[in-house]
Structure 1
Amino acid sequence: MSMYFHLRAVPPSALRNSATWFQRLFEDDWDIVRERIGRHREEVLDRQYLDVELLYSGIPPNHAPDGPPTDVVLGGRPVFPPNPSLPPFLLLTAAQVTGVAGYLKAADFDDLWRRARPQLLRPYIATDAEPEVRGLFAATHRDLTAFYAQTAEYGDAVVKWLVI
């Protein structure tokens, strides 16, 4: 079973306050999404998305104050799908996206890594795994920074969903 955490940028004018519309947004392929909302930007985190959340938010349950650090991965207003067995969608407004983009642009990856390093390395037995693991988190940080920066530049919102 593959689990992915998807983040999709949506222009506010195309956004619908409907869980059914959000579900279609994630079920449709990229070309259909691009046709429906006029452009397409997406970021996908693999099943370790909670580790990425830890990088920004601190030790669970979110020891960071409310705001951009907690919004990068899991933040947003929940919108519950019609099927209660499915996880909720998370919606960040364009203003919230701008806040997250500013936070990520100003964040020092080395500081984030130092704070979360012990928890992020815990699952890895090999003592020489740190350079590879750190590199993966650094790449994800760069990707998320670019995604939020471009999304904020367009003035778009972000809809997030754990796709199982």
Structure 2
Amino acid sequence: MSIYLHFRAVAVSEIRDDHTWLAAFMSEAWENDEAEYAAGIAHSISKSWNAVHDLYAAADALCTDADEPWNLPIYGGRPVLHSADANPSDPPLMLLEPPGVSQAAQFLTTVSFDELWNVVEARFSALGWTKQEHLEHHRDLQEFYGQAASAGHAVVKAVWA
């Protein structure tokens, strides 16, 4: 079974803060993923997004930023609650507003991947997770969040199974 965390950048003026509407929007985005990836407005991580979050949590050991911007790239944002008429099979959704997207982009640009890796290397290597795999996720997220922040977009996140 495959499970994905799907990210979609979108102008705030184009979205509704409604779970049913956002689920339909994200479903359509998921169906158009190839074109949206090519346009730089979508990204996804298969199964390992929690490990990517753990990599970024290593920033806690590197800095004393009380805002914890390392939380933003993967789990940042607020849950969009199901409405009474929502389909129970709709995915869990989160919405990261433009200021959070900018903070995530800044964090991803300024944090040292090598320093993060040094903190987690022994644990990750023992689990079979490679540096190259996480470096690719990091670079992809840097690019995705950088473009979203430059455009002033929000990021909607959905979990697809």
Q: TM-score range by the shorter chain?
A: 0.7 to 0.9
3-state secondary structure, aligned to 1:150: helix
Alignment match, 2:115: 111
SS of corresponding position for 1:16: coil
Q: 1:138 maps to what in 2? A: 135
Asked if 1:44 is matched to 2:44, the reply is yes
Displacement of 1:74 in angstroms is 1.2
TM-score of the two chains, using structure 1 as the length reference: 0.81
Counterpart of 1:5 in structure 2 is 5
Q: Percent of counterpart pairs with the same letter? A: 33
Structure 1 pair 15–67 and aligned structure 2 pair: CA distance change class (3 A): farther
Once the two structures are TM-superposed, the CA of residue 56 in structure 1 deviates from its matched residue by 0.6
2:9 and 2:148 in contact (8 A); partners too: yes
DSSP-derived class of the 2:75 partner:
coil
Alignment length, in residue pairs?
148
2:153 equivalent to 1:149: no
1:77: which partner in 2? 78
CA contact (8 A) 1:30 1:40 kept: no
The alignment partner of 1:96 has SS state of helix
One-letter identity of the residue aligned with 1:43: H
Assess if the C-alpha contact under 8 Å between 2:20 and 2:87 holds in 1: no
Name the counterpart of 1:91: 95
Gaps of 5+ in 1: 125-129
State the secondary structure of the residue aligned to 1:73: helix
The CA RMSD over aligned residues, in Å, is 2.4
Moved over 4 A (4+): 83-87
Q: Distance in 2 between matches of 1:66 and 1:154?
A: 23
Secondary structure of 1:13 counterpart:
helix
Q: Which amino acid aligns with 1:159?
A: V
